[in-house]
């Protein structure tokens, strides 16, 4: 029921526990673009707010790692040769081409993810920021994040990255237990991780995030709570919690299949999530999304732009994007994926300025599906104003009031639909995956009432 492009987005941007649903819905043709408004064939508006077209965030994928972690199936490669310089040049070229294609006048945030972008030379960051500024505006206060692996090398480069323009670090701790780090195939230890967080906090106070995973092999709720206590003594104002997901093709997946390792069961996993939410809350962190917690308003503006259905441009091998290619007369938003393999990606960028491998046009329903699925991940949910940006004609109440399933979610207190919009309750957030099929079905019924099912 959920569209293919959305499945990819969920994998790409959420990186945690999101269950994939079935594929494929019909698309609606668009007839034209008038003063920043998109229209469907029958003339009804479907995305009309000009700021949706003028702005985008930018994701830059650095595809190299020093080694493979046992659980990771992200698009990453262990490089045979040092081709950093050429990759950096191609990233700048792709930024330039796709900015031109999107015609956005402002890049609101930049995120260097990977792979291991802290392996890149810091000049890659400054060169890409300059490439953006040559083509469009990048606000002085724009959030520029970089994922850092907390190895000694990562730590010593922090200062140079900060001089290059990074103002927010996202540090991949994964665990604070050396034994677990070894088992996960990480190339750092807990001491190195804590020193990296300390140094990053000196450079970017209040702008350091840490990634930590739970449901690790052999983990218990008690040891997780002890680990979180240690984390809370060391961390800054942002924490991302990832539920370890066994991915096909990884060493962890094989180890699980051959029963070499076991993961905590669903019940224990739910306990771990709940204890983390509680402990973070007690330490002043507000949960603002299923996996993300911030205090002192230190939210990730870049990730919020995904959850709020804003445009984003993805550059680098395997990067994903969502934008209207106005520069070539495009009239509707596309889900775009760049070529995966770095050598092929380099060739394509050198030949054609960019290496977009796949483009899927998003119809009205598909756009609303994304807004719904992404929006409900945020604790503030989907406000009426936010929904109206994408659905000027059908309100949240028009769509969901007639569904008995949704009425049941509201009655149980898992969902709320009121003047503030549609959102999950504390309990509902943990159950979001199980509510989505009914919500998406209802959306489809209302948008395409006559479609066969
Ligand atoms: C792909 S990594 C890239 C950043 C950096 N290389 C690192 O490892 O810290 C981004 C985040 O994805 C999360 N991640 C990767 N594979 C995962 C999996 N199978 N299950 C849950 N989280 C995963 C990790 O927590 C990691 O911090
Ligand atoms: S988790 Fe990070 S360091 Fe490990 S293989 Fe994946 S991208 Fe590379």
Mutation test residue for ligand 2: of 15, 16, 64, 65, the one with most atoms within 8 Å of CB: 65
Ligand 2, pocket-test mutation among 15, 63, 64, 76, most atoms within 8 A of CB: 76
**Closest atom, ligand 2, to C-alpha of 174:** 1
CA of 63 to the centre of ligand 2 (A): 10
Percent of the chain past pLDDT 90, that is, above it, reads 86
pLDDT tier at 80 (50, 70, 90 boundaries)? confident
pLDDT value, residue 346: 98
Q: Taking 60 as the threshold, does the pLDDT of residue 33 lie above it?
A: no
The pLDDT tens digits of the residues spanning 368-392 come to 999 999 999 999 999 999 999 999 9
pLDDT beyond 50 at 19: no
Residues at CB less than 6 angstroms from ligand 2: 65, 68-69, 72, 74, 76, 114-116, 149, 172
- Tell which residue, 130, 127, 137, has the closest CA to residue 89: 127
Average pLDDT over residues 95-106: 97
- pLDDT at position 244 over 70: yes
In this prediction, residues 231-240 reach a mean pLDDT of 98
Report, as an integer, the average pLDDT of 128-145. Answer: 95
pLDDT of residue 382: 98
pLDDT at 34 over 90: no
CATH no. of 52-304: 3.20.20.70
Give 170-213 pLDDT, tens digit per residue: 999 999 999 999 999 999 999 999 999 999 999 999 999 999 99
- Mean pLDDT, all residues of the chain: 90
Beta-carbon contacts of 33 under 8 Å, excluding residues fewer than 6 positions away, are 39, 326, 331
Condensed to tens digits (0 to 9), the pLDDT of residues 261-303 reads 999 999 999 999 999 999 999 999 999 999 999 999 999 999 9
Q: Would you say residue 37 has pLDDT above 80?
A: no
Q: Where do the CATH 3.20.20.70 domains begin and end in the chain?
A: 52-304
pLDDT in tens, 390-412: 999 999 999 999 999 999 999 99
Residue closest to 424 by CA, chosen among 387, 386, 385, 378: 378
pLDDT of residue 49: 64
When comparing pLDDT for 26 and 215, which is higher? 215
Judge whether residue 47 has pLDDT over 60.
no
**pLDDT confidence tier of residue 66, bands split at 50, 70 and 90:** very high
Spacing, Cα 75 to ligand 2 middle (Å): 9
282, two tokens: 């007690």
Percent of the residues in the chain that have a pLDDT greater than 70, as a whole number: 89
CA-proximal residue: ligand 2, atom 2 (nearest): 115
- Residue 31: pLDDT band with limits 50, 70, 90: very low
**What is the pLDDT averaged over residues 68-92?**
96
pLDDT at 189: 98
Report pLDDT for 453.
65
Check residues 35 and 339 and name the one with the higher pLDDT. Answer: 339
């Amino acid at each position: 029921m959920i569209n293919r492009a959305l499945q990819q987005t969920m994998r790409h941007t959420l990186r945690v526990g999101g269950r994939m649903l079935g594929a494929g819905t019909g698309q609606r043709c668009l007839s034209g673009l008038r003063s920043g408004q998109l229209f469907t064939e029958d003339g009804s508006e479907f995305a009309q707010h000009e700021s949706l077209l003028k702005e985008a965030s930018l994701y830059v994928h650095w595809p190299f790692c020093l080694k493979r972690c046992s659980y990771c199936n992200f698009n990453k490669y262990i490089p045979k040769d040092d081709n950093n310089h050429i990759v950096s040049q191609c990233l700048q070229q792709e930024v330039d081409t796709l900015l031109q294609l999107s015609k956005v006048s402002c890049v609101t945030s930049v995120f260097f993810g990977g792979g291991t972008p802290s392996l890149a030379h810091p000049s890659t960051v400054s060169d890409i920021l300059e490439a953006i500024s040559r083509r469009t505006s990048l606000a002085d206060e724009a959030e520029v994040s970089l994922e850092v692996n907390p190895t000694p090398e990562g730590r010593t480069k922090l200062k140079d990255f900060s001089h290059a323009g990074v103002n927010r670090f996202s540090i991949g701790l994964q665990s604070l237990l050396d034994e677990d780090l070894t088992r996960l195939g990480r190339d750092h230890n807990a001491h190195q991780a804590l020193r990296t967080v300390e140094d990053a906090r000196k450079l970017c106070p209040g702008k350091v995030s840490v990634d930590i995973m739970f449901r690790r092999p052999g983990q218990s709720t008690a040891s997780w709570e002890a680990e979180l206590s240690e984390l809370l003594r060391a961390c800054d104002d942002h924490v991302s919690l990832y539920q370890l997901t066994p991915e096909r093709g990884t060493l962890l997946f094989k180890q699980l299949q051959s029963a070499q390792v076991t993961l905590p069961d669903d019940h224990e996993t739910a306990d771990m999530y709940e204890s983390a939410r509680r402990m973070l809350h007690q330490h002043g962190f507000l949960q603002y999304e299923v996996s993300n917690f911030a205090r002192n308003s230190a939210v990730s503006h870049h990730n919020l732009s995904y959850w709020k259905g804003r445009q984003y441009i993805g550059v680098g091998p395997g990067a994903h994007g969502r934008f209207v290619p106005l520069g070539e007369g495009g009239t509707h938003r596309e889900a775009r994926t760049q070529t995966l393999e770095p050598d092929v990606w380099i060739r394509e960028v050198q030949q054609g300025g960019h290496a977009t491998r796949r483009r899927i046009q998003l119809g009205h329903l598909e756009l609303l599906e994304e807004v719904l699925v992404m929006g409900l991940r945020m604790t503030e949910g989907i406000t009426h104003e936010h929904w109206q940006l994408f659905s000027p004609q059908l309100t949240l109440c028009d769509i969901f009031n007639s569904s008995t399933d949704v009425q049941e979610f509201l009655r149980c207190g898992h969902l709320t639909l009121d003047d503030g919009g549609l959102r999950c309750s504390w309990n509902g957030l943990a159950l979001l995956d199980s509510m989505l099929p009914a919500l998406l079905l209802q959306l489809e019924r209302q948008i395409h009432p006559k479609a066969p099912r």
